[in-house]
């Protein structure tokens, strides 16, 4: 539905996974709940792809449909060109790392890792060597004979990874795998996951509600909200070129300003902000002259100037010190608020006092018109 035009240019290989018009409705009648309203999505081979969204956005449903744990209400899912909607999970070449790992408590670490290989009836010698290889890959070879209950959260996480990677799936699904870990471990595991993805060359589909996780690890991200895909793109796309109000607001901090379109020229439009200032912003096609729109600008792209030098006049009403930077809250003439991020580099000019009259300018190209 969106940004498909810029996707097509990247490569011509068929997508590893493609969702078409995927609808999932739980329950029936009055209690029916629509978890996905017709999602379209292509995931490329060998990609670290993230489904990002708040809880209830449909990201986990999408993953579970791909794994085969849920049945599609309508639509299709193709895996390397083959339709898989009617295949049970055990016949799909995908494996899952579960949110709380779902390790089999009655089996040892090695038996857990060997589980899928045994069901696939691989020869015993192959299973042994593959299990050893996987445990080495996640640095767990010394704990092969432990029971899952004897492991720490981080160790269980590694076993779950080894177990899911052992059968050499074409796609690895990760359902918020880091959410149960503490902060430090979570950061270490991010790098570990990126390493594993590079080393194995497997397509990773990663589900998270944590934007930092998504931005730091992914090749591309799909942002979901209320059962709809809001935007698909690289981390840079999502941060710097948010498509609509939800994406701009959900990822990072942003200022949202009301404006009216004056003129359109190519990909850009001239706008008049509600305070009366005229600016230029990037805009998607379909935003015509006269439209009332919302414009997004990141706090770091708002530059503080002297009261007379800026293109907009404002008054400083609040300051928050964050260490490396500070956030300054400004009130514009029309009472709307703008947040400015300022570096706290040594030798940087001091922040003005609260109540001071200041001016601001927007960094060139930093304003973006959002779709509602």
Partner 1 sequence: MSAETTSPPAPHLAKRSARRRRAFQLGEFRGLTLWVGAVLVFLYFPICVLVIYSFNESRFAMNWTGFSTDWYGRALANRAARTAALNSVIVATCATAMATVIATAAALVLARRNQFRGKTAAIGLMSLPILVPEIVTAIATLIFFSTLGIRLGLGNLIIAHTVFSIPFAFMPIRARLQGMDMSLEAAARDLYATPWQSFRLVTLPLLAPGIMAGAMLAFVISLDDFIISLMVADAGSTTLPVYIFSMIRFGITPEINAISTMLFAASVSLVTVYWLLSRPRR
Partner 2 sequence: MSAGLTETPAGRWLALGPALLVIGVFMLVPLGIMVTISFMEPNVYGGVHRQFSPSAYVQFLYQRDFDDNLVFNPGYLYILGRSLGLAGLATLICFVAGFPVAWYIVRRPPHQRNVLIFLVTIPFWTNLLIRAYAWIIILGRDGVIDTPLRWLGVMGPEASNGILYTNWAILIGLVYTYLPLMILPIYASLERLDFRLFEAASDLYSNKWASMRHVVIPLALPGIFAGVILVFVPALGDFISAQLLGGSRRLMLGNLVQLQFSTARNWPFGAAVAVILLLFVVASMAAYLRLNRKTGLELSK
| Token digits of residue 122 | 């691989």
Rounded to 10°, the helix 124-137/153-165 angle is 140
Kindly tell me which of 5 and 91 has the beta carbon lying closer to partner 2: 91
Q: Which of 119, 195, 263, 348 binds partner 2 (CB under 8 A)?
A: 119
Q: Does 275 bind partner 1 (CB under 8 A)?
A: no
Q: Does 14 bind partner 2 (CB under 8 A)?
A: no
Residue 96's contacts (CB-CB under 8 Å, 6 or more residues apart) are: 63, 67, 164, 172, 173, 174, 175
Least separation in angstroms between residue 118's CB and partner 1 is 20
d(C-alpha 368, C-alpha 243), whole Å: 8
Kindly tell me which of 105 and 266 has the beta carbon lying closer to partner 2: 105
Q: Does 139 bind partner 2 (CB under 8 A)?
A: no
Q: Which of 38, 56, 75, 89 binds partner 2 (CB under 8 A)?
A: 89
Size of the residue set binding partner 2 (CB under 8 A): 27
d(C-alpha 298, C-alpha 288), whole Å: 24
Q: Does 26 bind partner 2 (CB under 8 A)?
A: no
Q: Does 80 bind partner 1 (CB under 8 A)?
A: no
Q: Are strands 17-26 and 33-43 parallel, antiparallel or unpaired?
A: antiparallel
21 contact, one of partner 1, partner 2, none, CB 5-8 Å limit per kind: partner 1
Q: Does 68 bind partner 1 (CB under 8 A)?
A: yes
Considering only the stretches 68-76, 266-274, 321-329, 332-340, report the one whose residues sit in contact with partner 1 under the rule CB under 8 A.
68-76
100 contact, one of partner 1, partner 2, none, CB 5-8 Å limit per kind: partner 2
Instruction: Encode 12-24 in three state secondary structure.
Output: CCCCCEEEEEEEE
195 contact, one of partner 1, partner 2, none, CB 5-8 Å limit per kind: none
d(C-alpha 333, C-alpha 331), whole Å: 7
Edge-first strand order for the sheet with 220-225 is 94-97, 171-175, 203-208, 48-52, 220-225, 228-233
Q: Are strands 312-321 and 357-362 parallel, antiparallel or unpaired?
A: antiparallel
Q: Does 115 bind partner 2 (CB under 8 A)?
A: yes
20 contact, one of partner 1, partner 2, none, CB 5-8 Å limit per kind: partner 1
d(C-alpha 216, C-alpha 187), whole Å: 10
**At which residue do the structure tokens 């996640």 appear?**
138
| Token digits of residue 311 | 């293109």
Kindly tell me which of 81 and 285 has the beta carbon lying closer to partner 1: 81
Considering only residues 28 to 67 of the shown chain, the ones binding partner 2 according to CB under 8 A are 67
Q: What is the per-residue DSSP string for 202-270?
A: -EEEEEES-HHHHHHH-SEEEEEETTEEEEEE-HHHHHHS--BHHHHHHSS--EEEEEEEEEEETTEEE
86 contact, one of partner 1, partner 2, none, CB 5-8 Å limit per kind: partner 1
Using only C-alpha atoms, what is the Rg of the chain?
Answer: 25
Q: Which of 85, 190, 245, 264 binds partner 1 (CB under 8 A)?
A: 85
Kindly tell me which of 10 and 121 has the beta carbon lying closer to partner 2: 121
| Token digits of residue 233 | 């793109």
Considering only the stretches 87-95, 152-160, 220-228, 309-317, report the one whose residues sit in contact with partner 1 under the rule CB under 8 A.
87-95
Q: Does 195 bind partner 1 (CB under 8 A)?
A: no
Q: Does 20 bind partner 1 (CB under 8 A)?
A: yes
The binding site for partner 1 (CB under 8 A) comprises: 20-21, 40, 68-69, 71-72, 76, 85-89
What is the binding site for partner 2 (CB under 8 A)?
67-69, 88-91, 94-96, 98, 100, 102-106, 115-116, 119-120, 147, 149-150, 163-164, 167
């Amino acid at each position: 539905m969106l940004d498909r035009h810029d996707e097509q240019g990247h490569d011509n290989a068929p997508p590893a996974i493609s969702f078409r018009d995927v609808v999932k409705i739980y329950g029936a009648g009055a209690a029916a709940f629509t978890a996905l309203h017709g999602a379209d999505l292509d995931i490329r081979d060998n990609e670290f792809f993230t489904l990002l969204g708040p809880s209830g956005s449909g990201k986990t449903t999408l993953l579970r449909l791909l794994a085969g744990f849920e049945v599609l209400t309508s639509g299709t899912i193709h895996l390397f060109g083959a339709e898989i909607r009617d295949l049970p999970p055990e016949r799909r070449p995908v494996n899952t790392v579960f949110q709380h790992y779902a390790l089999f408590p009655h089996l040892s670490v090695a038996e857990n890792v060997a589980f899928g290989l045994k069901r696939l009836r691989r020869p015993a010698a192959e299973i042994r060597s593959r299990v050893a290889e996987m445990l080495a890959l996640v640095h767990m070879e010394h704990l092969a004979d432990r029971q899952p209950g004897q492991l720490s959260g981080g160790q269980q996480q590694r076993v779950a990874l080894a177990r899911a990677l052992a059968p050499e799936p074409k796609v690895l699904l990760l359902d918020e795998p880091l959410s149960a870990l503490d902060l430090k471990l979570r950061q270490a595991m991010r790098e570990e996951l990126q390493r594993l993805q590079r080393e194995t060359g497997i397509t990773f589909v990663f589900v998270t509600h944590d934007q930092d996780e998504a931005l730091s690890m992914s090749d591309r991200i799909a942002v979901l909200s209320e059962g709809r895909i809001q935007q698909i793109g690289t981390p840079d796309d999502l941060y710097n070129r948010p498509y609509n109000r939800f994406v701009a607001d959900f990822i990072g901090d942003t200022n949202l300003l009301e404006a009216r379109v004056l003129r359109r020229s190519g990909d850009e439009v001239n706008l008049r902000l509600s305070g009366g200032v005229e600016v230029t912003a990037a805009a998607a096609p379909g935003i015509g002259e006269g439209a009332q729109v919302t414009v997004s600008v990141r706090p770091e792209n708002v530059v503080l100037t002297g009261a007379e030098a800026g293109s907009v006049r404002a008054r400083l009403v609040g300051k928050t010190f964050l260490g490396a930077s500070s956030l300054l809250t400004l009130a514009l003439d029309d009472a709307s608020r703008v947040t400015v991020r300022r570096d706290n580099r040594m030798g940087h000019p001091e922040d003005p006092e609260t109540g001071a009259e200041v001016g601001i300018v927007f960094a060139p190209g930093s304003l973006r018109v959002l779709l509602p």
